[in-house]
């Protein structure tokens, strides 16, 4: 079982939190930087590489930080709120199967993690796999599988 995670606006990451009670009531504190995190709904911007129908333009999707509790919830919200029905972005398609979500919130390494939107769920990609994937013709990407 995972530790409880929240989005820390200081670290700009999903962080493990420490809970407690003080004079102001119940609080959650970032275990990395010690900042007190309010039950905030502040929007967090996530970048999506549009590779399904566009040539790698970036679409920014804003999701409320309360969805940043685990990777699956977060990726699903990026997908859901990346639909033009929710957040219309001029000259950008909705986030679709074949696009790649750039994760700079749950990643543990220095670089981001990459998640390709698959027919069911998301497939994690390495930076090398992403480079190979980008080289494919737009049409081939749709049928490309990592395995
Ligand atoms: Zn922090």
Tens digits of per-residue pLDDT, 23-58? 878 888 999 999 988 766 778 999 999 999 888 899
Same domain, 101 and 115: yes
Q: 64 and 42 in contact (C-beta within 8 Å)? A: yes
Residues with CB under 5 A from ligand 1 (ion): 8, 10-11, 30, 32-33, 35
Please tell me the predicted confidence (pLDDT) of residue 1.
45
* Phi, psi of 137, deg, nearest 5: -65, 145
17 Cα–ligand 1 center, Å? 9
Total number of domains in the chain: 2
Q: Whole-prediction pTM value?
A: 0.85
Strand-by-strand arrangement of the 36-37 sheet: 5-8, 13-22, 25-30, 36-37
Residue 111 CB neighbour total at 10 angstroms: 10
Q: Assign 81 to helix, strand or coil.
A: helix
Distance from Cα 109 to the centre of ligand 1, integer Å: 16
Q: Verify that 133 and 82 share a domain, yes or no.
A: yes
| Stretch 75-84: mean pLDDT | 96
The residue range of the domain holding 24 is: 5-37
What average pLDDT does range 8-24 have in this prediction?
88
Pair (31, 49) in one structural domain: no
Give the pLDDT confidence score for residue 136 in this predicted structure: 87
d(CA 115, ligand 1 centre) in Å: 24
């Amino acid at each position: 079982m995972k530790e409880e995670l929240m989005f820390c606006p200081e670290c700009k990451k999903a962080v493990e939190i420490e809970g407690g009670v003080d004079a102001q009531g119940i609080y959650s504190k970032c275990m990395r930087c010690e900042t007190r995190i309010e039950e905030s709904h502040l929007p967090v911007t996530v970048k999506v590489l549009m590779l399904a129908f566009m040539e790698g333009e970036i679409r920014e999707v804003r999701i409320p930080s309360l969805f940043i509790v685990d990777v699956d919830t977060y990726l699903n919200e990026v997908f859901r709120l990346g639909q033009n029905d929710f957040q219309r972005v001029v000259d950008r398609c909705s986030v679709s199967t074949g696009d790649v979500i750039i994760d700079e919130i749950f990643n543990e390494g220095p670089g981001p993690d990459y998640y390709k939107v698959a027919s069911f769920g998301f497939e994690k990609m390495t930076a090398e796999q992403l480079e190979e994937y980008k080289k494919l013709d737009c049409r081939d990407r749709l049928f490309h599988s990592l395995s």
